[in-house]
Structure 1
Amino acid sequence: MARPGLDPELRALLADLPLMSGLDAGVLAQLRRLPSTPLDAVLHGRAAGHREITTPVPLSIFTPARTDHAPTPCVYWVHGGGMVMGDRFSQIDIPLDWLDLFGATVVSVEYRLAPESTGMTPVEDCYRGLLWVAEHAGELGIDPSRIIVAGASAGGGLAAGLTLMARDRGAPSIAAQVLICPMLDHRNLTTSSRQFSGEPGVWTREMNEFGWRSVIGRGEVSGYMSPAIADDLSGLPTAYIDAGTAEVFRDEDVAYATRIWAAGGQAELHIWAGGCHGFDALYPGARISVAARRTRNDWLARVLGPAPGDVR
């Protein structure tokens, strides 16, 4: 099946990555044994505090160095990994850039993974953590009117799901949602899903099917789990959605933005030509990644405003 090609720089970089075409329980076990993101290296050179809190779910809290006591915006981060792998430090450099740029407090949640935990468990874990953050905003030094939920891949899908859940349950208030190549639709029926199948890749149709089978288990699928099937997308906070042309999630992400617009909401959508799944997390120094991050940061600057003293 014809499909968009990769950005040339990404193609060269991916040539050194051991890509797979599918996932199974044995491969997943091997991937889970790989070391987590080295936090010391990510925090090196950043003026950031770090502490761990066990609430209803484990949370990592990263705070900006401040000379005043004004409440900070908050980025509530949900990690990727197909809902079957990763941890709260996965892709953490993305929200930590927002700590640097906007003086935001970053809270990253550790949700339970499939297949050990199925159904609504991952999104409920994310919601419980977010509700705790909002309820303790004062002691955390957070402005409760400027809480943004954000996530990449599976984390983007979970961020969308918990935003729907917060709307329907009436709390907490969410100012915006940042959905980076989000995993939104369990059905795998789109053209882009079919295009990126049968060959090794960063995240293929077959890998996606494994992830969804793992989390659905034998239960029913809710719109909180698979936001693409949610009946109503009205009344949601403004959204930023991005993806690449050369990835499985392209079309479901475009469709989600389109449905937000149809419901009268705001969504800014960017589809990066030649981008593979998670390209800016994998290769932040690539030219396409630099452009994607800069564009995302510019949108956040309009939503949050710059950090005090920022002269960009």
Structure 2
Amino acid sequence: MKYKLGDFVRFVDEKMEGFVTRIVDEQMIGVTGDDDFEIPVLASKVTFVHGYENNGKKSLAAEVMQTPVAEFITKGVYLGLVNDAKVNSVMHFYLINDTSFQLLAGLTTESQDKYKGEQAEIIAPKKAVKIYSGQLADLQLWPKFIFNIVFFTNQNIKPEAPLAVTEKIKAKDMASAKKKLPLLDLQGWLIQLDEPELVIDAQKLKESFHKPAGEKQEITKPAGEVDLHIEKLRDDHQLLHSSEILNIQLSYFNKALDAAIVHQLPDITFIHGSGNGTLRQELHRLLSKNNRIQTFMDARKEKFGYGATKVILK
């Protein structure tokens, strides 16, 4: 199939054009025009509209600028999910390289034990590449995405270990509000690929109750609502730098979440405020990697606006 979701095409025998919004099989596709009505058509009966989009790819041997060692960034490989600008029902997937490494990246999909090599790219530092597209209505049918990524630089920097990451996109990955994605002037959802899954061992936390008296560490049951505003946590907050404030808030969040898991609370709400969204983004990133979390969502908007996140525990 030479066409992909999101391609702009024109009918050969009629004065019609639109976007490819469904791949039925190797011969049949669905095309949606300005009237938002999807028309099934043989792939042989449409053609690309040349000039609509720049399809030329940059050379894989593009020169990479040297980054000062002190400024070299080693973490920041993301999968970004973005709705098509013209056809909102189509979701595009971007591999985002926010590191200073070049990436040799391959994407394979797996569905019902069938594997398909989708794309292989060399991605320059601070660049993003569209690697896949899917129909949003078919989210439950989307395949597993298997990423194999190798890090490279010709500078005197130890490369990161190669990544072999499998992601199955779920509805909860898009439960939070959209945000601006790094390197892309687009709003969407973000999944970090180069971060190990956060695994909390509830049994080990419980064992802390049974330590000898001299070692025993009491874990207090947290309130149902935990306020992470820095003025609630530290009296000297006006003397702290923004990075220190964020670290304090995240530390308090992690302790409260661990305590909620130990005490088997059904849910807990974290009040983070709206602000610039940094704290909310970090909380959602950590929650999405936590295997003790069933789901999370914006808390009651009539009470908190967009300033709180409700976490449902398993």
Q: Same fold by TM-score, threshold 0.5 exceeded?
A: no
Identify the structure with the greater helix proportion.
Answer: 1
Greater Cα radius of gyration, structure 1 or 2:
2
Taking structure 2 as the reference length, the TM-score comes to: 0.24
- Give the alignment's TM-score, normalised by structure 1: 0.24
Q: Could you say which structure has the higher strand fraction? A: 2
Task: Name the structure, 1 or 2, with higher relative contact order (CA <8 Å, separation 6+).
Answer: 1
